[in-house]
């Protein structure tokens, strides 16, 4: 595992817009490296978890302890909907029963923009324009 370096000190007011852009780029690159390291660790953890889960399951163990930590199984039931036909059935069920709480409360941004572009209004929803910076690396 890579040792994590302390983040560079961020000056409150860099000298110019260009200096601020360069500082933003440097921080983004540092973040990308840390995320890559974190993703590599996550992959190793997932592999080890799967192996440990299979081993404990084959040995009939539902809780185990090492010198630093303990693990145990937990179970939760989640929905698994496979195929367009099943999605259609699921949506029809929600529509018929009014069980909209089966869905997470989040608006699909592309679908919402599509309706707005078609001149339609969506009751209860107000357009909000998110503004963000796009940072691109200069080719040398």
The first and second tokens of residue 42, run together, are 């996550």
- How many CA atoms within 13 Å lie on the side-chain side of 90? 13
User: What's the start-to-end Cα distance of the chain, in Å?
Assistant: 31
Buried b (16+ CB within 10 A) or exposed e, 10-36: eeeeeeeeeeeeeeeeeeeeeeeeeee
Domain ranges in the chain are 17-72, 78-130
Over the stretch 20-35, which tens digit does the pLDDT of each residue have? 999 999 999 999 999 9
Between CA 96 and CA 12 the distance in angstroms is 57
Over the stretch 52-95, which tens digit does the pLDDT of each residue have? 999 999 999 989 999 999 999 888 888 999 989 999 999 999 99
Single pTM value for the model: 0.61
């Amino acid at each position: 595992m890579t040792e994590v370096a302390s983040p560079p000190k961020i000056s409150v007011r860099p000298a110019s817009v260009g200096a601020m852009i360069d500082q933003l780029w440097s921080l983004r690159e540092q973040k990308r490296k840390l995320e890559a390291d974190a993703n590599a660790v996550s992959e190793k953890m997932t592999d080890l978890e799967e192996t440990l889960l299979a081993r404990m399951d084959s040995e009939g163990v539902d809780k185990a302890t090492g010198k630093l930590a303990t693990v145990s199984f937990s179970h939760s039931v989640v929905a698994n909907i496979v195929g367009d036909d099943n999605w259609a059935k699921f949506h029809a069920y929600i529509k018929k029963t009014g069980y909209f709480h089966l869905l997470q409360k989040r608006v699909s941004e592309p679908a919402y923009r599509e309706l707005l572009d078609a001149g339609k209004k969506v009751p209860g929803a107000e357009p909000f324009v998110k503004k963000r910076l796009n940072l691109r690396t200069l080719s040398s």
